[in-house]
Amino acid sequence: MLEITSEQACFGGVQSFYRHDAEAIGLPMRFSIFHPPVEDHELVPVLFYLAGLTCTEETFMIKAGAQRAAAQYGVMLVAPDTSPRDTGIEGATAEWDFGEGAGFYLDATQPPWQRHFKMESWIVNELRPLVLNEFNADPERVGIFGHSMGGHGALVLALRHPELFRSVSAFAPIAAPTRCPWGQKAFRRYLGEDRELWKMHDASELMRRQRTPFPEGILVDQGLQDQFLAEQLLPEEFERACAEAGQPLRLRRHAGYEHGYFFVQSFVEDHIAFHRHALAR
């Protein structure tokens, strides 16, 4: 059952927040949608936005200022929560970069996390079909983007499911999680010690196994004052992987910009325009 928890008029459209019982997760899950004005009378392209560590389904909608551009371009925005909540798992809320608020958009295989942390299955097999079935969304025009941990999620889900997502972009993604502390910590606990399995959730490793999966290109923006750039994000690894795969990539490096939502705000319209062009019929 789909429950509307709140709605607000916004740039001629509607900003809505929802909750539903997620079968894959085994718990209620929350997500938000910006419905552009043109959705009232025509099918619209859909962008799934995956947020970063500590964020919720509200963060992007409140902080990014994306609705103005989405209304202008006639694009639906969908933002899921970043993990299950109130899981009852011991230690699930003890660390800001692991557990609740840090689902890493994968399906955990290790106890106790595998009980509820099935984010990939929820987004791909439940949330995406739910949005397409319940709203005036075009199943042939679906893209995905995200920030930080969510940038990792967007790149990985797009590369693992290119038949479902026609376009992909990212802000300051964790581009090579098998090589950075955030990713290693999460993968070891969620997936165990099998590093070959880790590689199946690493955008740089996945890209090296493919050949031009997104011929119209991938857009990545990265701030050069980002405090996590050198240790955690490693965009140069993804850049090298794209070169090896023949994948067109626009990796834009921006002097003076840090990691947070002032950075996202500054370039979010570019990303919506990029996807709108890529998702043109």
Could you list the active site residues? 148, 226, 259
Residues 6+ apart with CB under 8 A from 208: 241, 244, 245
Residues whose CB is less than 8 angstroms from the CB of residue 18 and which lie 6 or more positions away in sequence, other chains included: 2, 3, 4, 5, 30, 31, 32, 33
DSSP-assigned beta bridge partners for residue 77: 34, 47
SS (H, E, C) the chain: CEEEEEEEEECCEEEEEEEEEECCCCEEEEEEEEECHHHHCCCEEEEEEECCCCCCCCHHHHHCCCHHHHHHHCCEEEEECCCCCCCCCCCCCCECCEECCECCCCECCCCCHHHCCEHHHHHHHHHHHHHHHHCCEEEEEEEEEEECHHHHHHHHHHHHCCCCCCEEEEECCCCCHHHCHHHHHHHHHHHCCCHHHHHCCCHHHHHHCCCCCCCCCEEEEEECCCCCHHHHHCHHHHHHHHHHHCCCEEEEEECCCCCCHHHHHHHHHHHHHHHHHHCCC
3-state secondary structure of 146: strand
